Amino acid sequence: MITKDIQRREFLKGAAASAAAIAVLPTSRVLGANDRVRLGAIGFGGRGQEDMREALKLGNVEFVAVADVYKRRQNEAKQVAPGVKLFTDHRRLLDLKDVDAVIVASPLHIHGRHFLDTVAAGKDLFCEKTMTWSIEEAEACRDAARKSDRVIQVGLQHQSSGPLADSKQWIKEGMTGKITHVESWMSRNTPRGKGQWVRSVPPDCTAANVDWKLFLNGRRDRPFDPYKFINWRLYWEFSGGNVTENMVHQIALIMRTLELPLPTAAYMSGGVFSERDGREVPDTIAVTLDFPNDLTVTWQSTFSNSHYGLGERYLGSHGTIERLAGTTDMVTGKSQTGVWYFPEKVNRPNGAMVEGQTPDINHMANWIDCIRSRKEPNAPVEIGYRSAVAAHMANLAYRRTERITLEAVKRSATTA
């Protein structure tokens, strides 16, 4: 495995320590239906701030503490909640007794560490997607979650969406017949010369204002690199590229719609074709995932054409389910968003087109509700785990230029 190196040994050492800590979980506060939920944030950049603002909008939620390795983000937290406690090291935040639950929105390569430490500290957790950077980390997090009673939501918001509910209902009613193929895609564009995701480095992003070692999280030590710190998404060490940024949302949706197990095999081709700006992760991607029971799922993406937005098509013998988001209609030229069912007249001659009507559920509100009710949230660890493994199998196929089977992944996990 690509991760069979120091990073992996370091992570597993840490995972063992966290697992031991979970066995002696601190007693957590039991919240009543109307009790205030006291939140901490680990990683308070773009998404961490969005997530926290979403949570605060719900009411009866307090932003108590933030841990971020970059001073600028700590100052931004004070603008959101003037009394918020500021930390650089997430472990100090987790020591606080007055934090009930934590939102983790750090870069991908640190999710596993932050996930395990949060659960070991007895806090409920909202962990942004992708759940982890590697398959081994996904397994360690899933195992830790199974041993704990914490309420854990993964930031896969489509798991709370109306189209998921509509699609599941149509399939349950037999309206699609046998689905043998799902095609999915995601496309974006930027002005030429400006690569997707590239962020400018703020002038205060200096070695004095960033704890670079904490960011590296066991990666090879080296002098502070502000560009990589800000643009971590572009590099394999810290990211899984568009597969972990976006495919994971759609594959998790497909897996949940069809209740799929892990893929049996993954293939992936593509490259850095849109903007050769030094990034390592591909911008043009074609993934194929094989599943048991006669099903193939494809996902393709580009960063130099946004005409078809994103979507999924479930192709069944008796009908098709199509979910579109920002797709330009071929005939009318209008942008379309929604979910529809179309009958296959050869097998369902009297079937009619149906448009999905179920509204989305607020994913953050679902987590906060579950913290109070102790019910399982809409995107629990199991779907976080399955979607992470599928994404990492695809990336491994690309990086090794070979077909990656589940057997090989499992074999490598047991011989590591």
User: Contact positions toward ligand NAD, by CB under 6 A?
Assistant: 42-48, 67-70, 73, 90, 105-108, 110, 128-129, 155, 157, 214-215, 217, 245
Please count the other Cβ atoms lying within 10 Å of the Cβ belonging to residue 398. Answer: 22
- Provide the minimum distance between the beta carbon of 96 and ligand NAD in the complex, in angstroms, as a whole number: 15
- Provide the minimum distance between the beta carbon of 70 and ligand NAD in the complex, in angstroms, as a whole number: 4
- Provide the minimum distance between the beta carbon of 290 and ligand NAD in the complex, in angstroms, as a whole number: 26
* Residue among 175 and 287 whose Cβ is closer to ligand NAD: 287
Largest Cα span, the chain? 69
Q: Dihedral sign, CA of 146, 376, 393, 43? A: negative
* Residue among 348 and 386 whose Cβ is closer to ligand NAD: 386
For residues 133 and 138, give the distance between their C-alpha atoms in angstroms, rounded to a whole number.
8
* Residue among 69 and 251 whose Cβ is closer to ligand NAD: 69
For residues 325 and 370, give the distance between their C-alpha atoms in angstroms, rounded to a whole number.
28
Q: Residue 359: is it exposed, middle or buried by C-beta count within 10 angstroms (0-12/13-18/19+)?
A: exposed
- Provide the minimum distance between the beta carbon of 41 and ligand NAD in the complex, in angstroms, as a whole number: 9
Note whether 368 and 58 are within 8 A (CB): yes
For residues 16 and 33, give the distance between their C-alpha atoms in angstroms, rounded to a whole number.
35
Residue nearest to ligand NAD (CB): 45
- Provide the minimum distance between the beta carbon of 247 and ligand NAD in the complex, in angstroms, as a whole number: 12
* Residue among 48 and 270 whose Cβ is closer to ligand NAD: 48
- Provide the minimum distance between the beta carbon of 32 and ligand NAD in the complex, in angstroms, as a whole number: 29
* Residue among 102 and 266 whose Cβ is closer to ligand NAD: 102
* Residue among 213 and 375 whose Cβ is closer to ligand NAD: 213
- The residues near 359 (Cβ < 8 Å, ≥ 6 apart) are 162
CA angle 65, 67, 72 (to 5 degrees): 105
